[in-house]
Structure 1
């Protein structure tokens, strides 16, 4: 604990004797003072040697001392990263965390502090590709949003009674996939801003080729031109387009995604995502200090394509995805 600022303080001379007496190191008999006489004694004369009553000021003693301390226990923290195919969802999608917090207190502890975060979705969070990046675009903004929130928790959660050394990041589907991307971020050259992780059924979008990423960005430009009524051909021009136009372009690109695909998601960018998360895990390029508890829900609905019910049609469907 850091030294505490304190106001100027002092004790009467008798206190030293009193303390020794209370501790049993001196007795009134040894001092040869009757209790009745002790009560009538005059204060010690300071004029003969005033310096003996002066103590060191100390580094923490100051006149500017009108402070107060609030002491609260350090509490574990959980951070929820919402799922939704990287295109839908918000921090309150999982409902009220009051039930989770109440369960965490059943052992008599203070329980956990719950943090839920938003991050950019669709074209706002996952635009990528050579053309986009060559024009100054930054890929994987959604993951970077999450990172900024997690780093904020590390820096500030103690102000709410949280323990930055006891942070767990958890999420389901795209949220779980995001947790895995945070563990493998930068190829493990930068540690994860949490101690534990619970990726629940982590979901990953199929990674489109760089040419398909460029085609997707071109589609955004075309639809933005259509809805705005002006010719939008560059990222710089796209950044000047009103939000409602981008909203419409985003909805169109997601609505026309192939079955089982949401159209947007993390992409290899040579920086935050140097490679596929699975490959980075296989190569040991992840933060191995993070304790991981995970689970998988193996369900087919609604992910199984309705267009691949036979060997022939399934083969055709696979070709379309490539």
Structure 2
């Protein structure tokens, strides 16, 4: 899930004085790089150079729809990389309406989650952006940060966030990096489930798109001055979940494609198999709605229907803002191939990449995404909702313990620390706390507990840039990072040195089970301080116990 540029404070991407631009073919010409036998033309913007919309795989159109991405052919001729490429097909979201007592800022914030970037949508969307310091040379071998956008695996684009801000800031603090962001297929085009999909080996295509872009980096990033051995994959929400799943992929072998990870509000998700009954029902419904019910090979039929017809069928499926349906069919899931096991079980087995990583959450992960449940007002309705959406195969009596651990007390709910304020319904703050912990906080805690004594782990909590009415909601930390705040500096140092510390910043200790340190970012003094990752222990432990036994 993603925020919009509208949520970011104003800043000047070219705040750093530009040095002599790299790869100017002549003193007055545009910046260029050579890929294979092609000249790729970029665009100078202050202290950085943009190379935008570069294809990294064959267009997944025609018979390549619903198939793994195919490598790009060698580049030839001239490639104009001065404008964003197409974004992938986006899922349509329901119109948002709120009770009168919900602050206007909430609607503005949530609208930004689902407002597409102002670039064309197309199935021909597998392109990437490379943004480099203007004075970089091929000999520099700069670290590479690879941004994977969020959007619930249903929306998002590499055109949403200003990568030039990260690059300019990296130059300013003396740790120059290169920024890359790819597009990947979404919803039914990228994460279709069902037994037909699993048997054909075409599950988790959006993850495979991301992986193909990492292979592109290994082949081409040195032409931009990057070091293919110093790649950090980084994402928020769906992007962070993607990072975690790449750590799990191939039984934990990163195959030299990345050396570190940075995850904002995402970790191995509490999900099950790609052919579970819920996903099979979604597949079957899409087959019917796309007009493929009578086909002898429904998957082949889906490859042949017009794009608009498949999108229309996809748009009838739940989104993360649909009524009572935060659990959508569009998460990556175990497929027996790329992701061998159910993610949390594979984590526990130890089949995961042994790389250093940073991971964290916002304080109020569930607050922005729980408004579709406002009509749930009684304990029984909340219990029905939790069981139907998250623990379908667990007895009602067992699931009822969740309500004991998350009481109907507004002062204990999310947004946390607000007393009885922002109680938009009798159960809203309770559901917000449960959903934030189930999807975000508890999986992160399991992740760091499993790996904190095995590899370098840095853990954080963000309470910054709060939104009136929903607090430090899902995605609020992005304002700090893309706005050049202290989180950006920690990220840049980690990408460059594999240690977020330095430059006189407050010390960020490693997480271990003996010392579950949590660097906490706040809007008040001290703005950064170390706390302990020990809040809501009983509630999160029980949610984890249930999700391991009954993944979604």
Structure 1 length-normalised TM: 0.70
Q: Distance in 2 between matches of 1:117 and 1:174?
A: 14
Q: Cα–Cα, structure 1 residues 242 and 174, in superposed 2: closer, same or farther, change >3 Å?
A: same
Q: Which of 188, 191, 211 pairs up with 2:255? A: 191
Please name the residue that 1:312 is paired with: 380
CA distance in 2, matches of 1:71, 1:291: 26
Residue pairs, 1:221-232, within 5 angstroms: 221-225=287-291, 231-232=294-295
Q: Is the 8 A contact 1:122 1:254 kept in 2?
A: no
Change beyond 3 A, Cα 1:164–1:247: same
**Is the 8 Å Cα contact of residues 169 and 194 (structure 1) preserved in structure 2?**
yes
**Distance of 2:194 and 2:282 partners within structure 1:** 9
Given the superposition, is the C-alpha separation of residues 90 and 223 from structure 1 closer, same or farther in structure 2, using an over 3 Å criterion? same
Check the 8 A contact 1:137/1:235 in 2, yes or no.
Answer: no
Match of 1:202?
266
**Counterpart Cα distance in 1 of 2:139 and 2:253:** 35
- Show the 5 A alignment for 1:25-64: none
Offset of residue 71 of structure 1: 5.1
Q: Report the Cα distance in structure 2 between the residues aligned to 1:274 and 1:74, rounded to whole angstroms.
A: 34
Q: How far 1:231 sits from its partner (Å)?
A: 4.7
1:180-210 Cα offsets, whole Å, 9 max, x none, are 0000102224536111110111064754762
How has the CA–CA distance of structure 1 residues 206 and 287 changed in structure 2, closer, same or farther, with 3 Å as cutoff? Answer: closer
Normalized per residue, the structure richer in strand is 2
What CA distance in whole angstroms lies between the structure 2 residues aligned with 1:179 and 1:118? 14
| Structure 1 runs not aligned, ≥5 long | 1-69
**Does 1:284 pair with 2:350?**
yes
* RMSD over aligned Cα atoms: 2.3
The answer as to whether partners of 2:138 and 2:222 remain within 8 angstroms in 1 is no
Give the structure with the larger helix fraction: 1
- Cα distance in structure 1, aligned partners of 2:256 and 2:248: 8
Secondary structure of the corresponding residue to residue 252 of structure 1: coil
What does the per-residue CA deviation read over 1:94-145, in whole Å, with 9 as the maximum and x for residues that have no partner?
A: x221211111012345x111100111100111112223333x2511101111
Cα separation, 1, equivalents of 2:332 and 2:272: 8
Q: SS of the residue aligned with 1:239?
A: helix
Relative distance call for 1:192 and 1:272 in structure 2 (3 A) is farther
The 3 A distance-change label for structure 1 pair 154 and 71 is closer
Bigger relative contact order (CA 8 A; separation at least 6):
1
Alpha-carbon distance in structure 2 between the residues aligned to 1:294 and 1:269 = 25
Please name the residue that 2:144 is paired with: 77
Give SS of 2:362's match.
Answer: coil
Gaps of 5+ in 2: 1-136, 393-552
Give secondary structure in 2 for the equivalent of 1:293.
Answer: strand
Change (3 A) 1:296 1:84: same
2:241 paired residue number: 177
- Shift of the alpha carbon at 1:155? 2.0
Alignment check: 8 A CA contact 1:120 1:142 kept: yes
Hey, what's the Cα distance between the residues in 2 that align with 1:265 and 1:286? 19
Contact 1:191 1:287 in 2 (8 A): no
Contact 1:205/1:265 (<8 A) preserved: no
**Matches of 2:299 and 2:314, distance apart in 1:** 15
Which whole-Å CA distance do the structure 2 matches of 1:137 and 1:245 have between them? 23
Other-structure match for 2:314: 250
